[in-house]
């Protein structure tokens, strides 16, 4: 496989962007090459097939692009925090903020993941769940966190965040900072060892 040219990459990115828009607007089920091509200003769906082997490859690209952006942003905030407790707070705050600034991306990500779950039976968020479990284990070792199941806690947090994303997306008037604060407190109380 040859390296892709600059023009090629730009076109692919343009198509991926159009795909994100389409999914966010119509939902996965109603997203077709025709709709994507229209939004990308392409003259033919053939153009999409030209740049992506098939629909699955396009969707994979959407997922990995969004994931890359998200983990870049959120990961940076986590790394700045000194303690596991701080990292947990950073993760929640950065995630909620990302949902607000990139809510089209999140929407698309969720739609794809859910639609394709049926096909591949995969459990999503594996990477992120691993990272969260790492934070939890570190906090338990350092004595900052109480003794709980890192797996269950990670799943709970990760999906609570998904729920929040959904509600923030559906209600434009909702205040993301308040959601973030509430979640921070919730999981702080649920994980800390010593009651305040």
Partner DNA sequence: TATGAATGAGATTTCATTCAT
Partner DNA sequence: TATGAATGAAATCTCATTCAT
Interacting residues toward DNA by CB under 7 A: 5, 7-8, 11, 30-35, 42-51, 53-56
Q: Quick check: 58 and 16 in contact, CB under 8 A?
A: yes
d(CA 196, CA 193): 9
Contacting residues for 100 by C-beta, under 8 A, at least 6 apart = 168, 176
Contacting residues for 32 by C-beta, under 8 A, at least 6 apart = none
Q: Quick check: 69 and 76 in contact, CB under 8 A?
A: no
Give 150: exposed, middle or buried? Use CB within 10 Å, 0-12, 13-18, 19+. Answer: buried
- The binder of 141, among a copy of itself, DNA, none, by C-beta within 5 to 8 A per type, is none
Which is nearer to a copy of itself, 98 or 179 (by Cβ)? 179
Residue 96 sits in the site that holds a copy of itself (CB under 8 A): no
Which is nearer to a copy of itself, 76 or 123 (by Cβ)? 123
Residue 17 beta carbon to DNA: minimum distance, rounded to whole angstroms: 14
Q: Both tokens of residue 141?
A: 């070792």
Q: Quick check: 64 and 133 in contact, CB under 8 A?
A: no
Residue 63 beta carbon to DNA: minimum distance, rounded to whole angstroms: 16
Which is nearer to DNA, 47 or 81 (by Cβ)? 47
Q: How many residues bind a copy of itself (CB under 8 A)?
A: 45
Which is nearer to DNA, 44 or 64 (by Cβ)? 44
Which is nearer to a copy of itself, 82 or 172 (by Cβ)? 172
Comparing CA positions, the residue from 12, 23, 18, 19 lying closest to residue 115 is 23
Rule CB under 8 A: choose which of 17, 21, 26, 60 binds a copy of itself.
26
| Interacting residues toward a copy of itself by CB under 8 A | 26-30, 110-111, 114-119, 121-124, 148-149, 152-153, 155-160, 162-164, 166-167, 170-171, 178-179, 182-183, 185-187, 189-190, 195-196
């Amino acid at each position: 496989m040859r390296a892709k040219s600059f023009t090629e990459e730009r076109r692919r990115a343009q198509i991926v962007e159009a795909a994100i828009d389409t999914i966010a607007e119509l939902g996965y089920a109603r997203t077709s090459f025709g709709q994507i091509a229209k939004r990308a200003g392409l003259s033919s769906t053939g153009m999409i097939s030209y740049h992506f082997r098939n629909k699955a490859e396009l969707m994979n690209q959407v997922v990995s692009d969004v994931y890359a952006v998200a983990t870049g942003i959120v990961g940076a905030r986590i790394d700045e925090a000194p303690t596991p407790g701080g990292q947990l707070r950073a993760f929640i705050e950065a995630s909620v903020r990302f949902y607000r600034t990139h809510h089209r991306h999140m929407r698309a990500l969720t739609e794809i993941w859910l639609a394709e779950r049926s096909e591949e039976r995969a459990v999503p968020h594996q990477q992120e769940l691993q990272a969260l479990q790492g934070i939890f284990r570190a906090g338990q070792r350092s004595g900052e966190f109480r003794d709980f199941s890192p797996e269950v806690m990670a799943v709970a947090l990760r999906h609570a965040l998904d729920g929040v994303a959904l509600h923030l997306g559906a209600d434009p008037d909702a205040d993301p900072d308040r959601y973030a604060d509430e979640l921070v407190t919730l999981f702080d109380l649920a994980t800390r060892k010593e009651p305040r």
